[in-house]
């Protein structure tokens, strides 16, 4: 017996050491490459938690917890149950897709793939990384679990099990999408139907076997490899456009720095498109809101708040541009350019991005003569100044940059409201 | 100062944290090709970065064609070109865009000599390809082409022959020889054959810690 257990223990120790080493490396890369993304997620969430009505900070966790509880609650209609399950999985997918580059492990994984790492070890490390990336979702999951257990419902344990199967399936959906294992989606679809059916059925009967089937389908989704293909940034369609377009050629001829800035944004299309679209959509939504207000005295303060929010949204572009310039700093340092070369150009670029939402927001005020033109002109100039100032927290704020940006935007909106006559 | 001296540095010091790379490096170079040699880790690449203004020196002064790099950085850099060991170029940038960018920064045109170099390096087919989609050798060739924009008086090349095919090495060696007639070419290389082909004067890193003037290099040493 002793002869048998010794190699087993040795194997376990080796496995644990490898797991810890590999996980440590992947996590360090994830944190470094993302610029402390995890910390920023929590920072944003806590700031949002202070603003949203309800209990401070933790209030925001209750909303997703309620949604999770609603999804696992008894519904008579299977279709609605499936819609709920798919909504949770889709949210998980939308959360992880922008992080795919970080999850991929970078260029190091090309080297790691040549090492004799077992599939189970890789799977364990991948899952650990996903759980780290999803830490924000863990708190609502525990709140939902506690709520479900606190009820007097006879099937509360079953509901909690269903909740964790649902969360597990969401995690597997993320992994399957990131690794582009289309065949595994069949297994997850089967698991979804089984889970939905188990939640629709009354107490007893086939509920437990169906839940077990859902769990089996989820685990199968995790294990079905098929023609696996790890995410490769080079394989994205937009990245495959390697040839320069004629627009880029013209821009490159007349304004090479502007082309570089545009391409820096295009290199990270997810965050860039999200920021620009959010700014435009917010401006359009506020236009609609002040129309609902019938262009009364609430219009101008609403526009000011929207401008402050847009400055927060667009200020993220500074980070994108700075990150793009960083690897080239050594080479740029040897060129005859001022140390403030990119500082001034990047600021001008962000100011340019702010023009479209600014025009959308100010147009109704001009059209309905809500404020003197001079006041609107000063407001526009002040917004551009705010956008320029939003660069400072990135330079000096370090870890608290988001907080400083928020304070800056809040202070600006208070000052603007106080200064504008109504 | 001798008016024929194109590159001069005096009392240069560099360190990474508490680790001093070198404390007082001084040298003055006239027109010619010079190969900087020394064992790994002695600070050859660091010295080139300091001379190019890509890294701030702890102490000392650098003059490019008589212009102080510390006091008139932009003007001095107008007269120098630097090619690092690796290619720290935006991955989304194409070779053409790099050339246009450098030309716009130096307020110069991409001259016939650069076009000739593009032809010699057989780069025409790769000019519109992104940097992250071309090989290291092609990236190096693009960087070398960019270095000749604006007719620099001082060329600082860190391991320029690394990753180049034999034909490109021969072309580069010939080009260095041509450029040395009106300017100073200082490069680092471990490749003895390449150094011999360029007929460069060899400067040992250990020697530059004592002030020295080299106006008439002995070729092929």
Most A CBs within 10 Å, among B90, B99, B102, B132, to test the A interface: B90
Report which secondary-structure segment, H or E, holds A324: helix A299-325
Question: What pLDDT sits at residue A155?
Answer: 81
Tell me the HSE value of B164 on the side-chain side, using a 13 A CA sphere. Answer: 25
Please write the tens of the pLDDT for every residue from B103-137: 888 888 888 889 999 999 999 999 999 888 899 99
Look at A5 and B221; give whichever has higher pLDDT. A5
How far apart CA A74 and CA A77 sit, in angstroms, is: 9
Highest mean pLDDT (candidates A127-131, A303-307, B96-100, B217-221): A303-307
**pLDDT, tens only, B176-193:** 988 888 899 999 988 888
Q: How far is CA A131 from CA A10, A108, A144, in A?
A: 27, 21, 17
Least confidently predicted of A245-254, A275-284, B35-44, B205-214? B205-214
Contact A330 B130 (CB under 8 A): no
Bridge partner list, B142: none
Tokens 């509360």 belong to residue: A156
Q: Which of A243, A331, A335 minimises the CB distance to B128?
A: A243
Chain A interface residues (partner B, CB cutoff 8 A)? 234, 242-244, 248-249, 252-253, 256-257, 259-260, 263-264, 266-267, 324, 327-331, 333-338
Residue of B nearest to A322 (CA): B90
Distance from CA of A34 to the nearest CA of B (A): 18
Please say whether the beta carbons of B76 and B53 come within 8 A: yes
Residue of B nearest to A266 (CA): B92
pLDDT above 50 (res B163): yes
Q: Which of B80, B33, B5 is nearest to B186 (CA)?
A: B33
Whole-number Cα distances in Å, A61 to A97, A159, A201: 22, 19, 29
**Cβ contact B3:B47 at 8 Å:** no
Token readout for B36 is: 């900087």
What's the length of chain A? 422
pLDDT, position B100? 87
How many CB pairs (< 8 A) connect A and B? 87
Tell me which of A107-111, B16-20, B67-71 is least confident.
A107-111
Contact B128 A244 (CB under 8 A): yes
**CB neighbours of residue A140 within 10 Å:** 20
Query: Does the model's ipTM exceed the 0.85 cut?
Result: no
CA distance B152 to chain A (A): 11
Q: Which two tokens stand for residue A185?
A: 């989606």
Chain A residues in contact with B102 (beta carbon < 8 A): 335
Calpha distance B142→A306 (Å, rounded)? 46
Q: What is the pLDDT of residue A370?
A: 80
Which residues of B fall within a CB distance of 8 Å from A269?
A: none
* Three-state secondary-structure class, residue A339: coil
Helix axes B136-147, B166-179, angle to 10 degrees: 10
Question: Quick check: A157 and A145 in contact, CB under 8 A?
Answer: no
- Helix H, strand E, coil C: the string for B140-201 is HHHHHHHHCCCCCCEEEEECCCCCCCHHHHHHHHHHHHHHCCCCEEEEECCCHHHHHHHCCE
B87's CB contacts (< 8 A; 6+ apart) are B131, B136, B139, B140, B142, B143
Q: What is the sign of the dihedral through the CA atoms of A417, A419, A420 and A421?
A: positive
With CA atoms as reference, the chain B residue closest to A248 would be B97
Distance from CA of A103 to the nearest CA of B (A): 20
* B101: chain A residues, CB-CB within 8 Å: 252, 256-257, 260
Q: Which of A266, A330, A337 is closest, CB to CB, to B92?
A: A266
Chain B nearest CA to A344, separation (Å): 15
Average pLDDT over residues B192-201: 90
Residue with tokens 């010794």, as numbered in its chain: A6
Q: Residue B53 is nearest to which of A324, A333, A338, comparing CB atoms?
A: A333
- Chain B residues touching chain A at CB-CB below 8 Å: 49, 52-55, 73-78, 80-82, 84, 88-94, 96-97, 100-102, 104-106, 128-130, 132-133, 156
Q: For residue B9, what is the enclosing H or E element?
A: strand B7-16
How many angstroms separate the Cα of A130 from the Cα of each of A32, A102, A233, A266, A369? 16, 11, 18, 26, 52
Residue A238 is predicted with a pLDDT of 39
Spell out the residues 6+ positions from residue B63 whose beta carbon is closer than 8 angstroms to its own. Answer: B1, B5, B7, B8, B9, B69, B76
Nearest residue on chain B to A249, judged by CA atoms? B97
The answer to whether A283 touches A310, Cβ cutoff 8 Å, is yes
Q: Is B213 exposed, middle or buried (0-12, 13-18, 19+ CB in 10 A)?
A: middle
Q: Give the pLDDT band (50/70/90) at residue B216.
A: very low
What number is the average pLDDT over the span B19-30? 88
**Directed axis angle between helix A135-150 and helix A119-133, to 10°?**
80
Q: Which of B45, B70, B91 to substitute to test the interface with A, most A CBs within 10 Å?
A: B91
Q: In what order do the strands lie in the sheet with B80-83?
A: B80-83, B154-158, B184-188, B32-37, B201-204
Measure CB to CB from residue A335 to each of B102, B130, B132 and give the nearest one.
Answer: B102
- The CA-atom distances, in angstroms, between A243 and each of A313, A325, B94, B140, B205 are 31, 21, 8, 19, 43
**E-strand stretches of B18-165:** 19-29, 32-37, 59-64, 67-68, 80-83, 154-158
* Inter-residue contact A308 to A409 (CB < 8 Å): yes
For A331, residues 6+ apart whose C-beta sits below 8 A from its C-beta are B54, B82, B84, B88, B89
Classify residue B79 as exposed, middle or buried by CB count within 10 Å of its CB (0-12, 13-18, 19+).
Answer: buried
For residue A357, what pLDDT is reported?
94
A420: distance to nearest CA of chain B, Å?
43
What pLDDT sits at residue A6? Answer: 57
Contact at 8 Å (CB) between A319 and A268?
Answer: no
Strands B154-158 and B59-64: unpaired
Instruction: Report, as an integer, the average pLDDT of B150-165.
Output: 92
User: How do the pLDDT tens digits run along chain A, 422 residues long?
Assistant: 444 555 666 767 777 777 887 888 788 878 777 766 777 777 777 777 777 666 766 777 888 888 888 888 877 788 888 888 999 999 898 888 877 877 777 666 766 666 666 778 888 888 898 888 888 888 888 988 988 888 877 788 888 999 999 999 999 999 988 888 888 888 999 999 999 988 888 777 788 889 999 999 999 988 887 544 444 444 443 344 445 566 666 766 778 888 889 988 888 777 788 888 889 989 999 998 888 888 888 889 999 999 999 999 999 899 889 988 888 888 888 888 888 889 999 999 999 999 999 999 999 888 888 888 888 999 999 999 999 999 998 888 777 788 889 899 999 999 998 888 76
Distance between CA atoms of residues A368 and A390, nearest Å: 30
Nearest residue, CB atoms, A336 vs list B77, B130, B133: B77
Residues across chain B: 221
Tell me the three state secondary structure of residue A259: helix
Contact yes or no for A334 and B80 at CB 8 A: yes
Distance (Å, rounded) from C-alpha A369 to C-alpha A357?
A: 19
């Amino acid at each position: 017996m002793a002869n048998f257990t010794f190699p087993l223990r040795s194997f376990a120790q080796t496995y644990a050491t490898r797991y810890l080493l590999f996980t440590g490396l992947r996590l360090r890369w994830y944190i470094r490459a993302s610029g402390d993304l995890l910390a920023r997620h929590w920072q944003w969430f806590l700031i949002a938690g202070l603003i949203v009505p309800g209990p401070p900070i933790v209030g925001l966790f209750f909303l997703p917890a309620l949604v999770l509880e609603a999804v696992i609650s008894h519904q008579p209609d299977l279709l609605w149950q499936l819609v709920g399950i798919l909504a949770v999985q889709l949210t998980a997918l939308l959360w992880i897709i922008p992080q795919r580059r970080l999850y991929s492990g970078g260029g190091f994984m090309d080297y790691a793939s040549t090492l004799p790492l077992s599939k189970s070890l890789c799977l364990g490390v991948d899952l650990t990384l996903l759980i780290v990336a999803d830490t924000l979702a863990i708190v609502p999951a525990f709140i939902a679990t506690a709520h479900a257990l606190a009820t007097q419902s006879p099937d509360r344990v079953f509901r909690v099990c269903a909740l964790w199967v649902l969360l597990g399936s969401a995690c597997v959906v993320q992994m399957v999408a990131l690794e582009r294992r289309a065949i595994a989606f069949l297994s997850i679809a089967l698991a979804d139907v089984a889970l939905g059916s188990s939640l629709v059925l009354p107490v007893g009967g086939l509920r437990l076997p169906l839940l077990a089937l859902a769990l089996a389908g989820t685990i199968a989704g995790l294990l079905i490899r098929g023609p696996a293909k790890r995410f490769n940034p080079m394989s994205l369609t937009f990245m495959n456009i390697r040839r320069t377009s004629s627009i880029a050629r013209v821009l490159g001829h007349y304004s090479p720095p502007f082309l570089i800035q545009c391409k820096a944004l295009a290199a990270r299309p997810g965050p860039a498109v999200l920021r620009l679209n959010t700014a435009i959509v917010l401006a359009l939504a506020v236009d609609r809101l002040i129309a609902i207000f019938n262009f009364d005295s609430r219009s101008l303060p609403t526009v000011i708040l929207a401008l402050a929010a847009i400055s927060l949204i667009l200020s993220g572009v500074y980070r994108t541009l700075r990150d793009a310039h960083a690897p080239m700093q050594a080479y740029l340092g040897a060129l005859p350019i001022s140390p403030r070369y990119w500082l001034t150009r990047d600021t001008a670029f962000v100011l340019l991005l702010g023009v479209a939402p600014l025009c959308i927001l100010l147009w109704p005020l001009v059209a309905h003569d809500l404020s003197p033109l001079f006041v609107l002109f000063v407001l526009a100039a002040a917004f551009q100044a705010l956008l320029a100032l939003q660069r400072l927290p990135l330079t000096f704020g370090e870890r608290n940059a988001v907080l400083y940006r928020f304070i800056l935007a809040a202070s600006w909106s208070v000052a603007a409201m106080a200064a504008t006559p109504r | 100062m001798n008016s024929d001296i194109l590159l001069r540095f005096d009392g240069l010091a560099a360190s990474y944290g508490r680790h001093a790379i070198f404390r007082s490096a001084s040298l003055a170079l006239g027109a010619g090709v010079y190969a900087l040699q020394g064992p790994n880790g002695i600070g050859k690449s660091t010295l080139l970065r300091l001379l190019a203004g890509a890294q701030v020196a702890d102490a000392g002064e650098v003059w490019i064609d008589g212009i102080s790099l510390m006091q008139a950085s932009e003007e001095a850099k107008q007269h120098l070109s630097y090619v690092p060991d690796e290619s720290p170029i935006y991955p989304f940038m194409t070779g053409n865009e790099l050339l246009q960018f450098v030309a716009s920064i130096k307020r110069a045109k991409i001259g016939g000599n650069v076009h000739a170099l593009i032809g010699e390096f057989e780069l025409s087919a790769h000019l519109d390809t992104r940097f992250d989609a071309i090989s290291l050798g092609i990236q190096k060739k693009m960087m070398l082409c960019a270095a000749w924009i604006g007719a620099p008086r001082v060329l600082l090349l860190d391991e320029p022959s690394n990753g180049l095919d034999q034909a490109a090495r021969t072309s580069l060696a010939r080009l260095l020889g041509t450029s040395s007639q009106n300017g100073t070419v200082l490069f680092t290389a471990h490749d003895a054959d390449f150094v011999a082909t360029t007929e460069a004067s060899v400067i040992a890193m250990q020697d530059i810690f004592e002030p020295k003037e080299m106006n008439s290099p002995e070729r092929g040493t």
